[in-house]
Every structure is written in C-alpha cells, then in structure tokens.
Amino acid sequence: MSDSQWPHQPAPSTALASLQTVDEARAELEARLMGIHNDLQLTQTIGLLFVKRQEDLKNCFDQLQDLKHHQQQQQQNAGVTAGDQQEPLPDTLREQLAVLDRDFQEGQNGILGLKGLIDAQLPTIAIRPPQGESSRPGSNVLGPSALPSSVLPTQTITKPRRHKVVVPSVPSINDPSFPVQIQEELLNQVRYWTSQAEMKEKLNQEYDTKISEQERIIDALNKQRRMREESDERLKEDQWNLELMNQELRTQASELQQQLSRSLHENGKIQKALAAASEQVEQMKDKEERTAGQLELTKSRHEQDMVTMRKHSAGIQREKSDLMKKMEELKVTMAAQQQKLAKKATMEAIALAQEREELLLEPESPVEAPVLIQALAQ
C-alpha cells in the first residue's frame, strides 16, 4: 500500500453546540458516524495486513532458526566451533528478506497515515515510550477529537509509542554477526507488529465505543424528534377537533334558533286552539248537565222497568215450576205405561214361542196358518 492510499487528516467538523435544529444535529451525527465507520474499515484492513506480515516474519524467522540449527549440527559433526566459520546467507532467503524490508517500509508509511487518522479522531492520549528510548517533546499529545467531550470516554489510554525500525545495510556475507543481526531484527519486527496489532484492537474498541455513543445520541435525537412530531400531530388533531366542534355548535345554535321561531309560531296556534277548546269545553259542560238530567230520568225509568221485569220473571218462574211438576208426573206415567207394554210384549212373545214349538212338533195344517200370521201381525 503506497502513501497516496492512506487517508489524510480530516477537516474539523461543525461543533454540536452551534447546531440549532434536531435535523441538523442528526445529519451531523450521521456524517460523523459514517466517517468513523470508514475509519474502522480502514483499520481492519491495516490489521489484516499487519497479521499477514507478522506471519511472513515468523516464517522467515523459523527458516533462519532451522538454518542456524542445521549449521550448528554440521559444525558439531565437523568439529568446528561456532566462531571459526559462518555459512553464507542463501539467495532465496536474502530475496525474501528484501521483500519483507520493502513491505516493512510500506507498513511504516501506513502507520504514519494511521497516526494522522488517530490524531484527528482520538482525544488526548498519554503515550509511553518503549523501554530504553527517551520521550521526545510533543510526542505524548494527539490532536483533539472531532466529537463532543460528552460522547467520548473520559479515561486516558496508554499504548506503546510508535518507533521507527531502522533496517541496517546488508553487511558482508562473511560477517559472522550477520545472522545474529537478522534474528534480532526479525524479533524486533515481530514485537513491533504484535504491539501494532494490540494497538489496533484498542483502536477498534475505541471506535466501537464511539459508534455506540453516536448511535445512542442519534436514537435519543430521533426519539425526541418523533415525540415532537407526535406532539405536533396531537396538537393539530386537537385543533382540528375543536374546529369541528365549533362548527357543530354553530350549526346546532342555528337549528335551535329555527326551532325556537317555529315553537313560538306553534305556540300562537296552540293558544288560539286552546281558546277554541275552552269554548267547546263550556259547551260540553252544558251538554253534560243536560245529559245528566236525562240520565237521572232514564235511571228512574230503568228502575221501574226492572221492577216490572222482576214481577214478570217471578210469574214465569212459577209457571215454569208448575210445568216442571207436570212434566215429572207425565214422565212417571209414561214410565208405568212403558213397563206395562214391556210386560205385555214379553208375555206375547213367550206365547208366540210356545205356539211355534207346538207347530213344529205337530204336522202343519193349512187352516191354522192364517191364524198364526194374524197373531204375529198383532
């Protein structure tokens, strides 16, 4: 990654205290949140690059360790001490170290750009220089943050100071200290990239905290905006309801006025009708008095008629009782006659039956047949 790919320090944004409306504050916070999100994506990309380079350095260091171990075994087998003879560095490993050196220089440029980004985004941070290196003036303070102090955390963060790794020129192949210098340099780079990865994790945590705080502020502003909009809507609705109620009351007042005029007109008609009804009542009273006199006369006549009818009814009851007595006597006489007739019919039937038996026992004679027919006819 070249120097042109690293972001420049952003211009300071508008202070939140100078904003006047909720929409402006929300837009400003959204813009800042988007910038922090982009910076976080950039730091993640740089972190992945650091991890890859750390793995490359570890692989190169392992190769050097294997090479040194192999050389020590060969020297032990040959009976040569470690300081008598040194093996030259292989060409493949030398090319790999050159590539790592170039990547390391690009990483240094990226760290410079990242430091500019950190100076623009983080608050004042106390930096502790690495062991064995004195602190320089002006190296313990970063640039002010673009976010308000109420959003950022108040604690101070201590992290390792960024130091420049100086890659010395490649010594002579026969220099016995060359492998040792390479090993030390690789160890320093591994430690450096490890500290950079830890710093990246801390920065990610800081960015996450900032993002959560910005989202909380945005949510609070959105909530206030929604509450204000709801309040405005309720006020508009209440005003509209009051207007409707006013119109309805005016309509009801006009209707009541019309009803009052109609009621007064009808009241006049009712007064006239009441006067006419009063005259009719007087006439009805006169008629009632005359009718009462006629009713008394009719009652007296009715009483006389009732007395006469009672007398007739008593005579009719006496006649009815006499007729009932006669009817009972006739019923008794009729019953006696019916008994006599029944006895007579029974005797005749018995006699007729005896005669039939006698006729059946004796031969029939043509002379007695008409006598039997006459008896049966009687």
Question: Across residues 222-248, what is the average pLDDT?
Answer: 92
Q: What pLDDT shows up at residue 281?
A: 92
pLDDT in tens, 160-173: 444 444 444 444 44
Q: Which residue has the higher pLDDT, 5 or 310?
A: 310
Q: Which residue has the higher pLDDT, 28 or 275?
A: 275
Burial call 320-355: b when 16+ CB within 10 Å, e when fewer: eeeeeeeeeeeeeeeeeeeeeeeeeeeeeeeeeeee
Question: Across residues 63-91, what is the average pLDDT?
Answer: 65
Distance CA 298, CA 207 (A): 120
Whether the Cβ atoms of residue 199 and residue 161 lie closer than 8 Å to each other: no
Q: What pLDDT shows up at residue 47?
A: 66
pLDDT bin (cut points 50, 70, 90) of residue 275 is very high
CA-based nearest residue to 160, from 120, 124, 191, 186:
191
Q: What pLDDT shows up at residue 107?
A: 62
pLDDT bin (cut points 50, 70, 90) of residue 22 is low
pLDDT bin (cut points 50, 70, 90) of residue 63 is confident
The one-letter amino acid at 261: S
Residues 304, 308, 311, 315, Cα dihedral to 10° = -170
Whether 119 has a pLDDT exceeding 80, the answer reads: no
Whether the Cβ atoms of residue 184 and residue 208 lie closer than 8 Å to each other: no
Range with the poorest average pLDDT among 37-41, 72-76, 329-333: 37-41
pLDDT bin (cut points 50, 70, 90) of residue 109 is low
Q: Select, from the ranges 16-25, 202-211, 284-293, the one with the highest average predicted confidence (pLDDT).
A: 284-293
